[in-house]
Amino acid sequence: MRQVNMIIIEDNEDDLLLMNMALEDAGYEPSYICVQDPAEFKEVLQDSKWQLVISDHRLHTFSAPAALELLKESGRNLPLIIVSGTIDEKLAAKLIANGAEAYIDKWDLKHLPSAVERALAH
């Protein structure tokens, strides 16, 4: 098993479990903290153990675009993978051009482990 330390921005417990199962099935041992708002995200970014960020596109009080901006402001060079079921390809491409590592459809999580692999290789 390969250890991966992640910050996950998600407000749906079922989606969180499905993402972790997809990673475990691919041989990862996920260690994560789940956050749901900008203040929590800023706080956990201060810990250097995190290797990457996985973010839903839109939560009630937070979003992937906002997370990208806070990540840039923090000076941390962590890859951010967007996992969402409610984003169109144009917006996903725009977010990738803006610095996101990848976009994965929540309904097709089989691509998550390879996106994590690429993110960790950078």
HEC secondary structure over 58-114: ECCCCEHHHHHHHHHHHCCCCCEEEEECCCCHHHHHHHHHCCCCEEEECCCHHHHHH
| High-pLDDT (> 70) share of the chain, % | 100
Domain range for 47:
2-121
pLDDT (0 to 100) of residue 89: 83
- In the predicted model, residues of the chain with pLDDT beneath 50 are none
pLDDT (0 to 100) of residue 97: 94
* Mean per-residue pLDDT of the chain: 94
Give the model confidence (pLDDT) of 22-42 as tens digits. 999 999 999 999 999 999 999
Q: By C-alpha distance, which of 54, 50, 48, 68 is closest to 115? A: 54
Assign residue 24 the CATH number of its domain.
3.40.50.2300
pLDDT (0 to 100) of residue 10: 96
When divided into structural domains, the chain yields a total of: 1
- Contact predicate 109/83, CB 8 Å: yes
